[in-house]
Structure 1
């Protein structure tokens, strides 16, 4: 019910000759990032927020407490794995959110079906300066010449490093981790880590539905100067020399016991935080949380460092994506709700620095260039990420392609399939998906 009762009450008061109070408006926000409403109930002090969930929850609380529209954002949280299915389902149920989070990689699936609103005019209404969007951020929310979203971050793979284990393994110099420069050095360091500490070199989610190995594989293919998917989405380049080199390196790390293939995302994270692995393959989104945990001195990770994913094959490149905010198309949305939704987006844009505290890279040039941003923990260690970030082209069906690659690659370490079996199958299935997406 969209403020029907409030409107009736307002009309009744006016009929009695009294002045009606300002009418309130409620908008819905659909997002992942976890549910921590209980932990941060009524908290509006951003200094008390930690991690993705904490920061977005406190930002929402703060908007609700401070906006002058009488607007209230009601948050609906969805688990990451089912999020896009549930968002798509809202269009048929009629419970369409006013604002929703989305990945750059998924945006084309919604713009081609005209399911999200163009936002350039709306941004002009509420004072969002699109010229302040960093070039990569503007590209992430633009399809053709139309802006369909508010960019919120650039997130990419990083090496999360336990410096104490690196020191014990003898791969620290002048206080900095000595990271490998080629595949041979990587395998040698992994062997050295096992021999000197008894610990794994890497912790990484490795299940049949886990994305991280594919993101690392893509990074290594790009580092060889090879596209994973052609820019126009017409072809894949997986069953190639570059794909074979990347897949063989992954396969070797698993077969030689340098990565535990039994770990899912949560277990890989816990292994790293408990001091059971030297390097965790994870993204920018955990830098704030891990820094806080290391500073507490209460776990196995006490000397924490972040590093760019090293260049092993000749060219700097690393997998990246972006979070952005969209307004799903809803023909029944009242104008006051549209205005409140745009005001909320403007508020989030103003607080891009606060979101960047998670570890994500900011998307506003003015924030990226600020001393405040540069002073955040670890940022100088991976400042280069914004220059070396790579993403699959903005084409429909990206998630389907990713799912195919996950199922195929994981069969190497989970089912004992060979690289020579997996790559032709992955190539064929991905190209079939590309053809379907272009129909």
Structure 2
């Protein structure tokens, strides 16, 4: 009898232990919008996390269509309590997400529970993760506009220093002289850049003049005449490059990329997400020696258009707060940031300071050559009209991009853009 009781006690204890383990396991439902090379790298990170946390936390990942479909699905799903536990998000779109009630606050206590704080990240990204002083996201990276260059062309022109880095490009006069020098009658251009992406350069040059794009208390978009004039000046700069034949007037993204990779342009201005494209071509022996650096300072101060991929926690209306689930989600976020060196392989700059300042990242080229733009980034302004697939992007396309090709006068385009955006507030 005693033996039987003892065996039953042992079985009961074992069952309780198994139940406890099962209860401790957490499945974190994950949504992202990452396709292509970004998607491959993120899936590898998820797999690595799951392997390391086997029996404790499992990420159940789903990739949805980038842009409006993703944001709309997340908003509607969160509203009825059927959203994921965690999602990727662009920090530039944060104000709109908060206004629609899509996101839950991520408190200082949440951050501290996994060894994170605002000081763990670049100042620009940490600030962009908040709306009216409340944090709704945790930065993962910074991505932005950089200058790619053909080392062979610049070397022949005596425009590389001993380390193979471009020299003499800062200042409008110097950079425009370089554009003119590399533009030839046989069809070569100084600069290749897709027409549809020129707004990012215009916004960068606006930032280099210290312009204010939005101030709710001072009148909305481009609150002073000086701000409008700075936008017009930035737009006129790109138009002048088109008028002088230093860059094609109209060119789509694939053609602009091919123009640079075929050696028909000395410079290429585009986001850092093209780094894997050039890395892969070079590895196959199909590309010249190339590099990438921060945008030249053509006006008063360094600045470059930037955004951040970040992690957010949907509000999921109607669902009860689950402390264990929240702890698992925060563990996922912290692990991803602390292991973001692999993500930097996609060209992105880690927002997490320890990774960005590590020897591993310092040896990563050309990423570490342009990483300084993380400190001089100009994000979209804090307004519900900003971010990917939002009205601000439509305004850039409707007014500023056409002004770079002469379809609109730059000064008129700047005023029309201001008035159009303010009418939507």
Confirm or deny a common fold (TM above 0.5): yes
- Higher CA-based Rg: 2
Asked if residue 218 in structure 1 is aligned to residue 203 in structure 2, the reply is yes
Residues 33-432 of structure 1: pairs in structure 2 closer than 5 A = 33-35=34-36, 51-67=37-53, 68-80=55-67, 82-91=69-78, 95-120=82-107, 121-168=109-156, 171-172=159-160, 174=162, 175-195=164-184, 198-207=187-196, 212-230=197-215, 234-237=219-222, 240-297=228-285, 299=286, 301-330=287-316, 331-332=318-319, 335=322, 337-399=325-387, 400-413=391-404, 416-432=407-423
Q: Deviation at 1:252?
A: 1.9
Q: Tell me the CA shift for residue 61 of structure 1.
A: 1.4
Deviation for aligned residue 1:292: 4.1
Q: Residue by residue, what CA displacement relative to the aligned partner does 1:304-359 show, whole Å, maximum 9, x if unpaired? A: 11111011112222222221110111133773654443332222122133323332
Instruction: Give the CA deviation at 1:104.
Output: 1.5
Tell me the CA shift for residue 363 of structure 1.
2.0
Shift of 1:269: 2.6
Instruction: Report if the CA contact (8 A) 1:201-1:258 is conserved.
Output: yes
CA distance in 1, matches of 2:382, 2:63: 27
Does the CA-based 8 Å contact 1:220-1:246 persist in structure 2? Answer: yes
Does structure 1 retain, via aligned residues, the 8 Å contact 2:120–2:352? yes
Report the RMSD for the aligned CA atoms in angstroms. Answer: 3.0
Task: For residue 404 of structure 1, report the CA deviation from its aligned partner.
Answer: 0.7
CA contact (8 A) 2:236 2:410 kept: yes
Aligned residues: 399
The answer to whether the 8 Å contact 1:33/1:80 transfers is no
390-399 vs 101-110, greater mean Cα deviation? 390-399
Shift of 1:373: 1.9
Contact 1:183 1:249 in 2 (8 A): no
Unaligned runs of 5+ in 2: 1-11
Change beyond 3 A, Cα 1:83–1:162: farther
SS of residue in 1 equivalent to 2:267:
strand
Higher mean C-alpha deviation, range 375-384 or range 59-68: 375-384
TM-score normalised according to structure 2 size: 0.82
- 2:214 match: secondary structure: coil
* Structure 1 residue 216, shift from structure 2 partner: 0.9
CA distance in 1, matches of 2:212, 2:117: 33
Structure 2: distance between partners of 1:281 and 1:344: 34
> Would you say the 8 A contact 2:344–2:367 is kept in 1?
no
Report the alpha carbon displacement of residue 184 of structure 1 after superposing the two structures with TM: 3.9
Contact 1:22/1:70 (<8 A) preserved: no
Q: Point out the more displaced range, 231-240 or 144-153.
A: 231-240
Contact 2:229 2:411 in 1 (8 A): no
